[in-house]
Structure 1
Amino acid sequence: MALNLDTIRATAERVAASHHLDVVDLEYQGGAKFRTLRIFIEKNAEERAKLAAKTAPEGADEDAALPKGVPAEMLSGVTHEDCASFAQDFGTVLDVEDLMPGAEYTLEVSSPGLERRLQKPEDYVRFTGSLVKIQTFSPVNNNRHWQGRLTGFANNVLTLDLSAVKQKGKAKKAVTAPVVEIPLANIEKAQLVAEL
């Protein structure tokens, strides 16, 4: 039986939903002996809204569980207990349904982190206003690497405010305007940049 990542993802999403979680990403590495399946999870939208409601305005007493200065929307809300509970249930399903053929593999479950990858159009909408790092397939203004504040996402084109960060290298020379627009289809990699 061959490994089917689409089936594994669908199964992970089903198990995650029962824990009020969403699957953010899934990675598979390795060959016959040393195989690792990584699942990145976060609280679902309803649970993240509850987390955001717990944040206090600047200067007020904040919940000790929330890092100061980090917008609640950037937090996945996932605890060690969430990861352990999900890993136990999902690992059982993987084994029972034989979705990971072969004897040994490592299952790793974690949050996506503060510098999470952006993949779906919904990610760009959700994280509008955040600092991002972008790498494109083909150059935009003679540059493939950009860093700036994501100021908008419409019609599958994202808008970056380059004045939000000091540009380096080729980006410094490529900046002719303070704003650059990049089509989603041209994005090879995109991730948040933590602002602490």
Structure 2
Amino acid sequence: MDLHEILEVTVTGLGYELVDVERSPRGRLLRVFIDKPEKHRGVDVEDCALVSDQLSRVLLVENVDYDHLEVSSPGIDRPLKKEADFERFAGSMITVKLRLPLNGRRNFSGMLQGVHDGKVRLQIDSGEVDFDLVNVDKARLVPNFDLTKSSDGLV
């Protein structure tokens, strides 16, 4: 198994979603981002500690060479990587950077309408735009700080 498969099997086996993996240039730092969609407020420190403990054991058994492991939440500007991410976050504001320009542009920001047949649909100021999911270089959620819709009532 390759590293990504090891991480995917372990993280999903614990009931979490593997969002992203980063390695430092020399591979000494391994950073793993996890999520738990059914957990409304996202993953917390206890979740990260649980996954970190399990990954440490699995990586030792699998003889993966690294010096430092970090496990964290994807953050409020969560990256969108998989087709399932683009489906799950339909209705959210996102930013997208394309690998190849579309109509002379590589950067877009707008309301994610979803994905269908490998095409992402985005509502932007000038209308709707569709682009191939394989053309997405980077996509992230735009944080929403509108507290009027929040049940927390932060003041």
**TM-score of the alignment, normalized to the shorter chain, above 0.5:** yes
Which of 15, 30, 33 is equivalent to 1:37? 30
The runs of 5 or more residues in structure 2 that have no matched partner are 146-155
* Partners of 1:37 and 1:187 in 2: CA distance: 24
1:42-101 Cα deviation digits (max 9, x unpaired): 12x5xx1xx35xxxxxxxxxxxxx4xxxxxxxxxx211011111111211221232122x
* Partners of 1:89 and 1:152 in 2: CA distance: 34
Greater mean alpha carbon deviation, residues 17-26 or residues 131-140 = 17-26
Which of 80, 83, 94 is equivalent to 1:132? 94
After superposition, residues 19-30 of structure 1 pair within 5 angstroms as: 19-30=14-25
- Structure 2 partner of 1:152: 114
Aligned-pair Cα RMSD in Å? 1.8
In the alignment of these two chains, the number of paired residues is 145
- Structure 1 partner of 2:44: 79
After superposition, residues 177-196 of structure 1 pair within 5 angstroms as: 177-196=126-145
- 1:13 deviates by 2.5
1:136-167 Cα deviation digits (max 9, x unpaired): 1221121111100011311111111113xxxx
- Structure 1 partner of 2:151: none
Amino acid at match of 2:119: V
TM-score by length of 1: 0.68
TM-score by length of 2: 0.84
- Structure 2 partner of 1:3: none
Which of 32, 51, 59 is equivalent to 1:94? 59
Identity of aligned residues (%): 34
* Partners of 1:111 and 1:21 in 2: CA distance: 11
Partner SS, residue 2 of structure 2: helix
- Structure 1 partner of 2:150: none
Higher strand share: 2
CA 1:137/1:82 → structure 2, altered by over 3 Å: closer, same or farther? same
The runs of 5 or more residues in structure 1 that have no matched partner are 1-5, 53-65, 67-76, 164-176
